[in-house]
Amino acid sequence: MALFTTFSLFQNQPRLVQAFSTRKGGVSFPPYGALNLGLHTGDKRENVYKNRALYFEALHIPQDKLVFPEQVHSDCVKVVDKPGKVSRCDALIARNSNLFLTIQTADCFPVFLYDPQARVVGIIHSGWRGTARNIVGKTIALMESECNVNPERIIAAIGPGVQQSCYQVDDQTASHFNERDLVPDGIGHFKLDVQGAIVRQLQNAGVADERMERDTTCTHCETDLYYSYRRDGHQSGRMMGVIGMVEN
Ligand SMILES: [Zn+2]
Protein backbone atom coordinates (compact mmCIF):
# COMPACT_ATOMS: atom_id res chain seq x y z
CA MET A 1 0.00 0.00 0.00
CA ALA A 2 2.95 2.35 -0.43
CA LEU A 3 1.58 5.62 -1.78
CA PHE A 4 4.94 6.63 -3.23
CA THR A 5 8.50 5.66 -4.08
CA THR A 6 11.66 7.66 -3.66
CA PHE A 7 15.38 7.39 -4.50
CA SER A 8 18.23 6.22 -2.30
CA LEU A 9 20.46 9.10 -3.47
CA PHE A 10 18.01 11.60 -1.93
CA GLN A 11 17.58 9.79 1.37
CA ASN A 12 20.63 11.19 3.12
CA GLN A 13 19.63 14.76 2.20
CA PRO A 14 17.93 16.00 5.38
CA ARG A 15 16.46 19.17 3.91
CA LEU A 16 15.00 17.51 0.85
CA VAL A 17 11.53 16.06 0.32
CA GLN A 18 11.09 14.03 -2.88
CA ALA A 19 8.54 11.44 -3.96
CA PHE A 20 6.84 9.86 -6.95
CA SER A 21 3.34 8.51 -6.42
CA THR A 22 2.13 5.00 -7.21
CA ARG A 23 -1.53 4.15 -7.89
CA LYS A 24 -1.89 2.48 -4.49
CA GLY A 25 -3.65 3.72 -1.37
CA GLY A 26 -6.18 6.13 -2.90
CA VAL A 27 -9.98 6.35 -3.08
CA SER A 28 -10.67 6.43 -6.85
CA PHE A 29 -12.65 3.58 -8.41
CA PRO A 30 -11.62 1.56 -11.50
CA PRO A 31 -10.40 2.34 -14.09
CA TYR A 32 -8.82 5.15 -12.07
CA GLY A 33 -8.13 3.04 -8.98
CA ALA A 34 -6.83 4.11 -6.74
CA LEU A 35 -4.44 7.05 -6.14
CA ASN A 36 -5.19 9.07 -9.26
CA LEU A 37 -3.71 12.56 -8.77
CA GLY A 38 -4.67 14.04 -12.15
CA LEU A 39 -7.75 16.26 -12.42
CA HIS A 40 -8.30 16.23 -16.18
CA THR A 41 -8.63 12.48 -16.54
CA GLY A 42 -12.39 11.84 -16.42
CA ASP A 43 -12.16 10.78 -12.77
CA LYS A 44 -14.37 12.39 -10.12
CA ARG A 45 -12.76 15.63 -8.97
CA GLU A 46 -13.69 15.04 -5.33
CA ASN A 47 -11.80 11.74 -5.38
CA VAL A 48 -8.73 13.34 -6.94
CA TYR A 49 -8.78 16.00 -4.22
CA LYS A 50 -9.07 13.30 -1.55
CA ASN A 51 -6.15 11.45 -3.14
CA ARG A 52 -4.01 14.59 -3.18
CA ALA A 53 -4.80 15.15 0.49
CA LEU A 54 -3.71 11.57 1.31
CA TYR A 55 -0.52 11.86 -0.71
CA PHE A 56 0.62 15.21 0.65
CA GLU A 57 -0.33 14.36 4.23
CA ALA A 58 1.86 11.25 3.96
CA LEU A 59 4.72 13.51 2.81
CA HIS A 60 4.01 16.25 5.39
CA ILE A 61 3.72 18.81 2.60
CA PRO A 62 1.14 21.62 3.04
CA GLN A 63 -0.93 21.81 -0.14
CA ASP A 64 -0.79 25.60 -0.21
CA LYS A 65 2.98 25.35 -0.83
CA LEU A 66 2.67 23.38 -4.08
CA VAL A 67 3.54 24.56 -7.59
CA PHE A 68 1.61 23.09 -10.56
CA PRO A 69 2.82 23.67 -14.14
CA GLU A 70 0.36 23.61 -17.02
CA GLN A 71 2.23 20.89 -18.93
CA VAL A 72 2.27 21.17 -22.72
CA HIS A 73 5.08 18.77 -23.87
CA SER A 74 7.35 21.77 -24.48
CA ASP A 75 10.98 22.58 -23.67
CA CYS A 76 9.96 25.63 -21.63
CA VAL A 77 11.60 25.95 -18.18
CA LYS A 78 10.57 28.45 -15.49
CA VAL A 79 12.16 29.59 -12.22
CA VAL A 80 9.40 30.01 -9.64
CA ASP A 81 9.28 31.66 -6.21
CA LYS A 82 5.68 31.21 -5.14
CA PRO A 83 3.07 28.45 -4.99
CA GLY A 84 0.18 28.03 -7.41
CA LYS A 85 -0.29 27.34 -11.10
CA VAL A 86 2.35 28.19 -13.69
CA SER A 87 1.30 28.67 -17.31
CA ARG A 88 2.58 26.51 -20.16
CA CYS A 89 5.89 24.91 -19.20
CA ASP A 90 7.31 21.46 -18.50
CA ALA A 91 10.14 22.13 -16.06
CA LEU A 92 10.34 24.15 -12.85
CA ILE A 93 13.25 25.41 -10.75
CA ALA A 94 13.09 26.81 -7.20
CA ARG A 95 15.58 28.36 -4.78
CA ASN A 96 13.10 28.88 -1.95
CA SER A 97 12.58 26.51 0.92
CA ASN A 98 9.02 25.46 1.72
CA LEU A 99 8.03 25.46 -1.94
CA PHE A 100 7.26 22.10 -3.55
CA LEU A 101 7.43 21.55 -7.31
CA THR A 102 5.14 18.98 -8.95
CA ILE A 103 4.69 17.32 -12.31
CA GLN A 104 2.15 14.74 -13.48
CA THR A 105 2.95 11.78 -15.70
CA ALA A 106 1.64 8.48 -17.02
CA ASP A 107 4.48 7.05 -19.22
CA CYS A 108 6.53 10.24 -19.67
CA PHE A 109 9.59 10.41 -17.41
CA PRO A 110 9.79 12.56 -14.27
CA VAL A 111 13.28 13.95 -13.63
CA PHE A 112 14.30 15.32 -10.23
CA LEU A 113 17.34 17.58 -9.68
CA TYR A 114 18.96 18.88 -6.49
CA ASP A 115 22.10 20.90 -5.83
CA PRO A 116 22.52 20.63 -2.02
CA GLN A 117 25.19 23.35 -1.89
CA ALA A 118 23.40 26.00 -3.94
CA ARG A 119 20.12 24.79 -2.42
CA VAL A 120 18.22 24.62 -5.65
CA VAL A 121 15.69 22.03 -6.81
CA GLY A 122 14.32 21.25 -10.26
CA ILE A 123 11.65 18.99 -11.71
CA ILE A 124 11.09 18.02 -15.34
CA HIS A 125 8.35 16.38 -17.40
CA SER A 126 10.39 14.65 -20.11
CA GLY A 127 8.30 12.69 -22.61
CA TRP A 128 9.57 12.06 -26.13
CA ARG A 129 8.81 15.60 -27.26
CA GLY A 130 10.57 17.29 -24.35
CA THR A 131 13.46 14.84 -24.57
CA ALA A 132 13.81 15.45 -28.32
CA ARG A 133 14.25 19.15 -27.48
CA ASN A 134 16.69 18.41 -24.60
CA ILE A 135 14.51 19.91 -21.88
CA VAL A 136 16.84 18.28 -19.32
CA GLY A 137 19.90 20.09 -20.67
CA LYS A 138 17.96 23.37 -20.87
CA THR A 139 16.80 23.05 -17.27
CA ILE A 140 20.34 22.47 -16.00
CA ALA A 141 21.63 25.39 -18.11
CA LEU A 142 19.06 27.69 -16.50
CA MET A 143 19.93 26.37 -13.03
CA GLU A 144 23.56 27.30 -13.79
CA SER A 145 22.91 30.76 -15.23
CA GLU A 146 20.15 31.90 -12.85
CA CYS A 147 20.79 30.02 -9.61
CA ASN A 148 24.57 29.45 -9.27
CA VAL A 149 24.16 25.72 -9.63
CA ASN A 150 27.23 23.65 -10.47
CA PRO A 151 26.20 20.59 -12.54
CA GLU A 152 28.97 18.54 -10.89
CA ARG A 153 27.13 18.90 -7.59
CA ILE A 154 23.69 18.01 -8.95
CA ILE A 155 22.03 14.86 -7.69
CA ALA A 156 19.69 13.64 -10.44
CA ALA A 157 17.01 10.96 -10.47
CA ILE A 158 14.80 9.67 -13.29
CA GLY A 159 11.53 8.09 -12.21
CA PRO A 160 9.47 5.33 -13.80
CA GLY A 161 8.10 5.72 -17.34
CA VAL A 162 7.42 3.63 -20.42
CA GLN A 163 10.52 1.60 -21.21
CA GLN A 164 11.99 0.77 -24.61
CA SER A 165 10.53 -2.75 -24.78
CA CYS A 166 7.01 -1.26 -24.63
CA TYR A 167 7.53 1.93 -26.60
CA GLN A 168 7.16 1.56 -30.35
CA VAL A 169 7.33 4.80 -32.34
CA ASP A 170 7.14 5.63 -36.06
CA ASP A 171 10.09 6.83 -38.10
CA GLN A 172 8.90 10.44 -37.81
CA THR A 173 9.29 10.36 -34.01
CA ALA A 174 12.46 8.28 -34.27
CA SER A 175 14.07 10.89 -36.54
CA HIS A 176 14.49 13.19 -33.52
CA PHE A 177 16.71 10.68 -31.69
CA ASN A 178 20.19 9.24 -31.83
CA GLU A 179 20.56 5.75 -33.34
CA ARG A 180 21.80 4.40 -30.03
CA ASP A 181 18.37 5.07 -28.48
CA LEU A 182 16.54 3.15 -31.23
CA VAL A 183 16.01 -0.51 -32.09
CA PRO A 184 14.33 -1.32 -35.45
CA ASP A 185 10.86 -2.84 -34.92
CA GLY A 186 9.36 -3.62 -38.31
CA ILE A 187 9.02 -1.44 -41.40
CA GLY A 188 9.02 2.25 -40.52
CA HIS A 189 8.98 1.60 -36.78
CA PHE A 190 11.41 1.57 -33.89
CA LYS A 191 11.53 0.95 -30.17
CA LEU A 192 12.66 4.13 -28.47
CA ASP A 193 14.65 4.37 -25.22
CA VAL A 194 13.59 7.77 -23.87
CA GLN A 195 15.11 7.09 -20.45
CA GLY A 196 18.47 6.23 -22.05
CA ALA A 197 18.34 9.50 -24.00
CA ILE A 198 17.67 11.39 -20.74
CA VAL A 199 20.66 9.73 -19.04
CA ARG A 200 22.92 10.98 -21.84
CA GLN A 201 21.43 14.48 -21.60
CA LEU A 202 22.27 14.52 -17.90
CA GLN A 203 25.81 13.30 -18.65
CA ASN A 204 26.26 15.92 -21.38
CA ALA A 205 25.11 18.61 -18.96
CA GLY A 206 27.87 17.60 -16.55
CA VAL A 207 26.05 15.40 -14.04
CA ALA A 208 28.33 12.64 -12.71
CA ASP A 209 27.24 9.01 -13.15
CA GLU A 210 27.62 8.31 -9.43
CA ARG A 211 25.23 11.17 -8.64
CA MET A 212 22.58 9.83 -10.99
CA GLU A 213 19.88 7.26 -10.24
CA ARG A 214 17.20 5.77 -12.47
CA ASP A 215 14.13 3.73 -11.69
CA THR A 216 13.82 1.33 -14.62
CA THR A 217 10.31 0.16 -13.71
CA CYS A 218 8.09 0.22 -16.81
CA THR A 219 4.78 2.03 -16.28
CA HIS A 220 3.25 0.10 -19.19
CA CYS A 221 4.16 -3.31 -17.70
CA GLU A 222 3.42 -2.57 -14.03
CA THR A 223 -0.38 -2.43 -14.24
CA ASP A 224 -0.94 -2.68 -10.48
CA LEU A 225 1.65 -0.07 -9.58
CA TYR A 226 1.43 2.67 -12.21
CA TYR A 227 -0.91 4.34 -14.69
CA SER A 228 0.08 4.20 -18.34
CA TYR A 229 -1.45 6.45 -20.98
CA ARG A 230 -0.31 4.11 -23.74
CA ARG A 231 -2.02 1.19 -21.99
CA ASP A 232 -5.10 2.86 -20.48
CA GLY A 233 -5.75 5.69 -22.97
CA HIS A 234 -8.19 8.43 -22.05
CA GLN A 235 -9.16 6.58 -18.88
CA SER A 236 -5.64 6.70 -17.51
CA GLY A 237 -4.99 8.30 -14.12
CA ARG A 238 -1.84 10.27 -13.38
CA MET A 239 1.09 9.87 -11.03
CA MET A 240 2.62 12.95 -9.45
CA GLY A 241 6.26 13.67 -8.75
CA VAL A 242 7.20 16.25 -6.13
CA ILE A 243 10.44 17.82 -4.88
CA GLY A 244 11.18 20.66 -2.47
CA MET A 245 13.31 21.80 0.45
CA VAL A 246 12.14 22.20 4.02
CA GLU A 247 13.38 24.97 6.32
CA ASN A 248 16.26 24.10 8.62
ZN1 LIG B 1 6.80 -2.33 -20.30
Q: What percent of the chain has pLDDT over 90?
A: 98
Q: How confident is the model over 187-191, as a mean pLDDT?
A: 97
Q: How confident is the model over 46-60, as a mean pLDDT?
A: 98
Task: Name every residue whose Cβ is closer than 8 Å to that of residue 43 and which is 6 or more positions away in sequence.
Answer: 28, 32, 36, 237
pLDDT at 196: 98
Q: Report the number of distinct structural domains present in the chain.
A: 1
Q: How confident is the model over 51-70, as a mean pLDDT?
A: 98
- Lay out the sheet containing 212-214: strands in order across: 77-80, 91-94, 120-126, 109-115, 155-158, 212-214
SS3 content of the chain, % helix, strand, coil (to 5): 30, 30, 45
The answer to whether residue 83 is domain-embedded is yes
CA–centroid distance for 242 within its chain: 8
Q: How confident is the model over 12-20, as a mean pLDDT?
A: 95
In Å, how far are 47, 61, 151, 165 from 246, measured between CA atoms?
Answer: 28, 9, 22, 38
Q: Is the pLDDT of residue 174 over 90?
A: yes
- How many C-beta atoms lie closer than 10 Å to residue 242's C-beta? 25
What's the 217 CA to ligand 1 centre distance in angstroms?
A: 8
C-alpha closest to that of 18 among 121, 168, 91: 121
Q: Is the pLDDT of residue 204 over 70?
A: yes
The answer to whether residue 43 is domain-embedded is yes
What's the 231 CA to ligand 1 centre distance in angstroms?
A: 10
Cα distance between residue 106 and residue 77, in whole Å:
20
Query: CATH code at 233?
Result: 3.60.140.10
The boundaries of the domain holding residue 85 are 14-162+212-245
What pTM did the predictor assign? 0.97
Q: How confident is the model over 20-30, as a mean pLDDT?
A: 97
Q: Is the pLDDT of residue 248 over 90?
A: no
Q: How confident is the model over 61-89, as a mean pLDDT?
A: 98
pLDDT at 69: 98
What's the 237 CA to ligand 1 centre distance in angstroms?
A: 17
Cα distance between residue 200 and residue 198, in whole Å:
5
Please tell me whether residue 78 adopts helix, strand or coil conformation.
Answer: strand
pLDDT at 91: 98
pLDDT at 137: 98
What's the 167 CA to ligand 1 centre distance in angstroms?
A: 8
Q: Is the pLDDT of residue 118 over 90?
A: yes
CA–centroid distance for 182 within its chain: 22
What's the pLDDT tens digit per position in 83-105?
Answer: 999 999 999 999 999 999 999 99
Q: Is the pLDDT of residue 1 over 90?
A: no
The answer to whether residue 70 is domain-embedded is yes
What's the 31 CA to ligand 1 centre distance in angstroms?
A: 19
